[in-house]
């Protein structure tokens, strides 16, 4: 898609990607092709855990992020290994996707580097 190409600034040539019509199809693909990967969703619920409380598998981690307005689809949540959240203070309880993804990704990479894993 032209918008992806414009924002990727050339990264689309070095990072493989794949398109799925639905999120459950993407999750099913990962489960079949990469059975050792952990799949977590980012969403604030009563079942979510703080993103710093988990030990992320050095084998691979997939993050599923929801829509900017409606969040993660509740039908997708049972398909995941767990739900993560970033602690929020004050009256707002959400961050946009562009803010929360790098926060959690940084924690994953931090743990992998601590364990001497490869990136």
Could you read off the pLDDT of 1-57 as tens digits, one per residue?
Answer: 787 788 888 888 888 888 899 999 999 999 999 999 999 999 989 999 999 999 998
Q: What pLDDT is recorded for position 109?
A: 93
Q: At 40, is the secondary structure helix, strand, or coil?
A: strand
pTM of the full predicted structure? Answer: 0.85
Q: Mind listing the pLDDT tens digit for each residue in 61-113? A: 999 998 877 889 999 999 999 999 998 887 776 778 888 899 999 999 999 88
**Predicted pLDDT of residue 95:** 77
């Amino acid at each position: 898609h032209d918008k992806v190409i414009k924002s990727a600034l050339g990264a689309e040539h070095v990072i493989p990607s794949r398109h799925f019509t639905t999120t459950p199809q993407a999750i099913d693909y990962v489960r079949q092709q990469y059975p050792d990967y952990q799949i977590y969703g980012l969403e604030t619920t009563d079942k979510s855990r703080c993103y710093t409380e988990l030990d992320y598998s050095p084998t691979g981690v997939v993050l599923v992020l929801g829509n900017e307005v409606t969040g993660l689809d509740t039908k997708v949540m049972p398909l995941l290994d767990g739900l993560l959240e970033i602690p929020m203070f004050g009256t707002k309880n959400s961050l946009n996707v562009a803010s929360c993804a790098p926060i959690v990704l940084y924690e994953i990479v931090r743990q992998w580097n601590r364990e001497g894993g490869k990136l």
